[in-house]
Amino acid sequence: MAGRLEGKVAIVTGGAQGQGAAIARAYVEEGAKVVIADVAKDEGQALADGLGDAAHFVHHDVSDAASWTALVEDTNARFGPVDVLANNAGILRFGDIERQSPEEVELVWRVNQLGVFLGMQAVSRTMRKNGGGSIINASSVEGLAGMPSCTAYAATKWAIRGMTKCAAMELGPKGIRVNSVHPGMIDTPMTRVHGGDAAMEFGASKVPLRRVGQPGDIAPVYVFLASDESSYVNGAEIAVDGGVTSTHAFGA
């Protein structure tokens, strides 16, 4: 039986580890050809090697427009016109408003927000010529609500949510669907670096399901949005957070 993504060509940014690696694996399992794009060369190449001929690794800086042009051209030449972009790459930096440096704020913006914009810009031309496609932008629960010491990061995730809505309206008539995914606390290298097991345990205590998410909890949503099953889903924001955003807080 053919997979749900049979015949599709996908790019997964930030695909070497964590959520991105889970998405790349799921795409290959469902029949897609996948280009794993990341700055982490060793991890990305090892993942691509393990996935076989259906996967290829490209060293890629999402904040560089020229890197995006080269990535899309390489994908089109290697596997055929790109149908799916999982705009997953991102970084997390905590910082108080009074202390976080402008340089760190700009770094978070360049990777998280500018990277998503450049990705949409780069693939939309190919998708338009090919009759359509699916762009999936990684936002966060911090793109739906706020958290202390997270202003720079949350700003980018709110921006991604807004850009997704605008792009869905602009690109929809061209057959290109654009949606955002909003994970809660997911057990990945990006989150573990900020507190390890203790952070995971604390996070689990705040989730209605009483556990933090795993990358495997996120990947099926990306499969659905990449597949033809979601052909009428456009401009949506999907929270995958164990119920964290289902309520409100009366102060910290």
Which among 27, 153, 222, 232 is annotated as catalytic?
A: 153
Active site residue 27: no
Number of Cβ within 10 Å of residue 195's Cβ equals: 12
| CB contact at 8 A, 36 and 20 | yes
pLDDT value, residue 154: 95
Q: Where are the beta strands (DSSP E) in 39-164?
A: 55-59, 84-87, 133-138
Per-residue model confidence as pLDDT tens digits over 73-86: 999 999 999 999 99
pLDDT value, residue 147: 84
DSSP secondary structure letter of residue 54: G
Shortest CA distance to 75 belongs to which of 57, 49, 51, 53?
Answer: 57
Kindly report whether the global pTM for this prediction surpasses the value 0.75. yes
Number of Cβ within 10 Å of residue 98's Cβ equals: 5
pLDDT value, residue 193: 64
What one-character-per-residue DSSP string does 14-27 give?
Answer: TTTSHHHHHHHHHH
Q: Does domain 9-240 have CATH number 3.40.50.720?
A: yes
pLDDT value, residue 122: 98
What are the boundaries of each domain within the chain?
Answer: 9-240
The pair phi, psi for residue 37, each rounded to 5°, is -115, 130
Can you tell me the distance from the alpha carbon of 245 to that of 252, in angstroms, rounded to the nearest whole number?
Answer: 15
List, in sequence order, every residue forming a beta bridge with 84; answer none if it has no partner: 10, 134
| CB contact at 8 A, 86 and 226 | yes
Q: What average pLDDT values come out for the chain (252 residues) when binned by 10 residues?
A: 90 96 98 98 98 98 98 98 97 92 96 98 97 97 88 96 98 98 83 69 78 90 98 97 79 52
How many residues does this entry show for the chain? 252
Can you tell me the distance from the alpha carbon of 143 to that of 113, in angstroms, rounded to the nearest whole number?
Answer: 12
